[in-house]
C-alpha cells in the first residue's frame, strides 16, 4: 500500500511496515501499526513526515513511527529518530512546542468502592487546588527571576527541596527529574511566561485524572508498581507551559538560519536543524533541558497539590501513602548510548509523542524498577481507559528504547468541536460514571473520546510487537481539564 504514489510502503509482518528508501532519503522508515491503524493513515501527511525525517543528515537507524502517529510540526507526533553525535543534527521540530510534555502516575491506598461516596468532593477539591486553563497561575508561587533559574537548573529536585514531595519521588522520574541545563540559554520572554505557571495543568489535552485499576495483566509487576485490582490512581499530563512553547519558538528562528548557514537541505522548513556539534545546537540543548526541568518541577508540584487534595477529602495518612509510580517525558531529545550494528554508539534520540521504554537491567533505571523494566504510562482519552506497561529488550533493540505515548488523534480540534456542537458531552460522560471539571466547554468538546484512536488497539500493537509489555489498565472516574 502507499499513502501517496511517490511513497512505497510494504508490510513486514502483522505489526510493522517499511517505508522504502527512495530519492534523497538517508534511511528507510519503520511504522508500527496493524491493518486497521494503517488504513486510518491513508491520505494523512504523517507518513510523508516519516519520509521527510529520513532525509536529515546523520540519522542512525530508521525513521520510526509509533501506532499513535499523527501529523505534527515537522516531525510526526509519534515519531522517533536518532542522530549520530558527530554527523547528526538536532531539530526543535523533533521535540515539539511543549517541551517535556509528559505524564506521571500516582498510586493511592484507596479502593474505588471507598472513593465513590466522596468522588464529587475529591473532583471539586482537585479542581480548586490545581490551577488549569490557558492563563492559569498561582499567585502564591510567583517566582523571582533567580528562583526561576533554580527551577530551570534543578527541575524536580528544586520542588522536593522546597517541600513539594520527597526524595523517594525522585527515584521514580526519568533522569531523576533533572537534565543538564543552561538557564542562560532561555530568553527573557520565555522566563517571563513561565514565572507564575509552575504547578499548573494548562489547557488542550492536558489533564489530572482520577481513575482505578480495572484489569491487571501481570500481577507481580503491578504489585511492584503499587497497582492492584480496584486501587485508585491519579494521572497527571502536562508539560513546560508557556515557557517551553517560547523556547521552541525562539529556537525555530535560530535553526532556520543555522540550516542555511551549514548548507543543510531540508525537505520541509519545519525540520530546521543544526549540527549537534554547533553552537546553535548546544544553546538549544541547554534551553530545551531547562524547559524540561521546568516541566518535571511542574508535575512534581501538581503531585503535591493532588496529595493535599487527598488529605483534605480522606486523611493525611492517605496522602502520605500516595506514592509516585513513575514520571516520563514524551517530547524530548536526549543523548543516549545504544548498540547499533553490534557497536555501542552515542546518539541523540528525538522522541516526539513517544515514550522512553528501557528494558530490565538498564543502568539508567533506579534499582526499584531495574529488574522489571521501566514503567511506561500510556494515557487514552477521558471516556475509556489508559494503560501501564513496562519497557522491553525488543524496544531497546529496535526503537532506541521507545514506544507509543497515547492514543493519537483521529480528529482535529476543529473537527471535534463540530461533532460535539449539538451534544452535551459532560452529561454523556456523567452517564458513564465519569465526572468532568473544566474551565470551558470548548476544551471538553475538543477532547471528546472519539477524537482519539482507541488506545487499547495502539497498546495491542506495541505489546504484540514486543516494544512494550502490558501491566494494567486504568478507568477514569473524574477528569480535571483546563
Q: How far apart are CA 266 and CA 49, in angstroms?
A: 12
Each residue of 288-327: pLDDT tens digit? 999 999 999 999 999 999 999 999 999 999 999 999 999 9
Classify 459 in phi/psi space as left (phi over 0), alpha (psi -120 to 50) or beta.
alpha
Q: Find residue 10's DSSP bridge partners.
A: 18
User: Which CA distances in Å does 423 have to 205, 413, 415?
Assistant: 19, 16, 14
Any domain includes 36: no
Residue 139 has pLDDT above 80, yes or no: no
Any domain includes 132: yes
Any domain includes 269: no
Query: What confidence score (pLDDT) does residue 32 get?
Result: 98
Q: How far apart are CA 453 and CA 118, in angstroms?
A: 31
Return the closest-CA partner of residue 171 out of 300, 333, 324.
324
Q: How far apart are CA 471 and CA 218, in angstroms?
A: 5
Query: What confidence score (pLDDT) does residue 136 get?
Result: 52
Any domain includes 288: no
Inter-helix orientation angle 241-261/279-313, to 10°? 170
Any domain includes 106: yes
Give Cα 190 distance to the centre of its chain.
21
Query: What confidence score (pLDDT) does residue 260 get?
Result: 97
Query: What confidence score (pLDDT) does residue 44 get?
Result: 83
| pTM attached to this predicted model | 0.96
Residue 132 has pLDDT above 90, yes or no: no
Query: What confidence score (pLDDT) does residue 1 get?
Result: 35
Residue 109 has pLDDT above 50, yes or no: yes
Percent of the chain beyond pLDDT 90? 91
Q: How far apart are CA 262 and CA 278, in angstroms?
A: 9
Q: Find residue 480's DSSP bridge partners.
A: 208, 437
Query: What confidence score (pLDDT) does residue 274 get?
Result: 98
Return the closest-CA partner of residue 349 out of 283, 409, 403.
403
Any domain includes 278: no
Neighbours of 338 (CB within 10 A): 18
Any domain includes 67: no
Q: How far apart are CA 312 and CA 309, in angstroms?
A: 5
Q: How far apart are CA 364 and CA 347, in angstroms?
A: 16
Strands 386-390 and 469-481: antiparallel
Each residue of 238-273: pLDDT tens digit? 999 999 999 999 999 999 999 999 999 999 999 999
Query: What confidence score (pLDDT) does residue 287 get?
Result: 98
Mean pLDDT of 414-428: 93
Each residue of 180-223: pLDDT tens digit? 999 999 999 999 999 989 999 988 889 999 999 999 999 999 99
Note whether 204 and 443 are within 8 A (CB).
yes
Residue 133 has pLDDT above 60, yes or no: no
Given pLDDT bands bounded at 50, 70 and 90, which one contains residue 352? very high
Strands 16-19 and 29-32: antiparallel
Q: Residue 370 has which C-alpha cell? A: 531495574
Given pLDDT bands bounded at 50, 70 and 90, which one contains residue 43? confident
Query: So which residues are the catalytic ones?
Result: 405
Q: What residues make up the domain containing 318? A: 102-240+294-325+356-481
Return the closest-CA partner of residue 56 out of 291, 214, 264.
264
Q: Find residue 337's DSSP bridge partners.
A: 346
Any domain includes 38: no
Angle at 27 between CA 262 and CA 33, to 5 degrees: 125
Mean pLDDT of 135-158: 83
- Extract long-range pairs of 162-166: CB within 8 Å, 24+ residues apart: 164/300, 164/301, 164/303, 164/304, 165/300, 165/303, 165/304, 165/324
CATH code: domain of residue 214 = 3.90.1860.10
List CB contacts of 215: < 8 A, sequence separation 6 or more: 229, 472, 473
Q: How far apart are CA 332 and CA 102, in angstroms?
A: 9
Rg of the chain over CA atoms, in angstroms? 21
Residue 12 has pLDDT above 90, yes or no: yes
Question: For 312-316, 340-344, 362-366, which range has the lowest pLDDT when averaged over its residues?
Answer: 340-344
What's the total number of domains in the chain? 1
Q: How far apart are CA 243 and CA 75, in angstroms?
A: 21
Angle at 317 between CA 118 and CA 322, to 5 degrees: 80
Mean pLDDT of 71-93: 97
> Taking all residues of the chain, what is their mean pLDDT, rounded to a whole number?
95
Residue 6 has pLDDT above 90, yes or no: no
Amino acid at each position: 500500500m502507499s499513502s501517496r504514489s511517490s511513497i512505497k510502503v510494504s508490510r513486514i509482518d502483522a505489526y510493522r511496515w517499511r517505508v522504502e528508501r527512495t530519492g534523497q532519503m538517508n534511511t528507510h522508515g519503520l511504522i508500527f501499526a496493524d491493518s486497521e491503524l494503517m488504513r486510518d493513515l491513508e491520505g494523512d501527511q504523517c507518513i510523508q513526515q516519516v519520509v521527510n525525517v529520513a532525509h536529515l543528515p546523520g540519522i542512525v537507524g530508521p525513521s520510526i513511527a509509533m501506532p499513535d502517529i499523527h501529523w505534527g510540526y515537522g516531525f510526526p507526533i509519534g515519531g522517533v529518530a536518532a542522530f549520530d553525535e558527530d554527523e547528526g543534527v538536532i531539530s526543535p521540530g523533533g521535540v515539539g512546542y511543549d517541551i517535556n510534555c509528559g505524564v506521571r502516575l500516582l498510586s493511592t491506598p484507596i479502593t474505588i468502592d471507598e472513593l465513590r461516596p466522596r468522588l464529587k468532593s475529591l473532583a471539586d477539591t482537585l479542581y480548586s487546588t490545581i490551577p488549569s486553563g490557558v492563563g492559569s497561575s498561582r499567585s502564591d508561587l510567583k517566582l523571582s527571576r533567580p528562583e526561576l533559574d533554580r527551577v530551570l537548573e534543578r527541575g524536580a529536585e528544586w520542588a522536593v527541596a522546597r517541600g513539594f514531595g520527597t526524595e523517594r519521588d525522585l527515584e521514580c522520574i526519568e533522569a531523576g527529574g533533572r537534565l543538564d541545563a543552561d538557564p542562560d540559554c532561555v530568553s527573557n520572554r520565555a522566563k517571563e511566561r513561565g514565572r507564575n505557571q509552575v504547578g499548573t495543568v494548562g489547557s488542550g489535552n492536558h489533564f489530572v485524572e482520577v481513575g482505578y485499576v480495572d484489569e491487571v495483566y501481570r500481577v507481580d509487576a503491578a504489585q511492584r508498581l503499587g497497582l492492584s485490582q480496584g486501587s485508585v490512581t491519579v494521572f497527571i499530563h502536562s508539560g513546560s507551559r508557556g515557557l517551553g512553547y517560547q523556547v521552541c519558538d525562539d529556537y525555530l528562528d535560530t535553526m532556520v538560519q543555522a540550516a542555511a548557514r551549514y548548507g543543510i537541505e531540508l525537505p520541509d522548513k519545519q525540520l530546521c536543524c543544526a549540527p549537534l556539534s554547533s553552537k546553535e545546537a548546544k544553546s538549544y540543548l541547554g534551553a530545551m533541558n531547562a524547559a524540561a526541568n521546568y516541566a518535571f518541577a511542574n508535575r512534581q508540584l501538581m503531585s503535591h497539590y493532588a496529595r493535599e487534595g487527598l488529605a483534605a477529602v480522606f486523611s493525611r495518612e492517605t496522602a502520605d501513602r500516595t506514592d509516585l509510580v513513575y514520571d516520563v517525558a514524551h517530547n524530548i531529545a536526549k543523548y543516549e548510548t545504544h548498540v547499533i550494528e553490534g557497536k555501542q554508539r552515542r546518539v541523540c534520540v528525538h522522541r516526539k509523542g513517544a515514550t522512553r521504554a528501557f528494558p530490565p537491567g538498564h543502568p539508567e533505571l533506579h534499582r526499584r524498577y531495574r529488574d522489571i523494566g521501566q514503567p511506561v504510562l500510556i494515557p487514552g482519552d477521558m471516556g475509556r481507559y489508559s494503560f501501564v506497561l513496562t519497557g522491553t529488550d525488543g524496544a531497546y533493540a529496535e526503537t532506541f528504547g521507545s514506544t507509543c505515548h497515547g492514543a493519537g488523534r483521529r480528529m482535529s480540534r476543529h473537527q471535534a468541536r463540530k461533532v460535539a456542537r449539538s451534544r452535551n458531552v459532560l452529561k454523556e460522560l456523567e452517564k458513564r460514571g465519569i465526572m468532568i471539571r473544566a474551565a470551558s466547554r470548548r476544551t471538553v468538546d475538543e477532547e471528546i473520546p472519539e477524537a482519539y484512536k482507541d488506545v487499547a488497539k495502539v497498546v495491542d500493537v506495541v505489546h504484540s510487537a514486543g516494544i512494550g509489555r502490558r501491566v494494567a489498565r486504568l478507568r477514569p472516574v473524574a477528569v480535571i481539564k483546563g
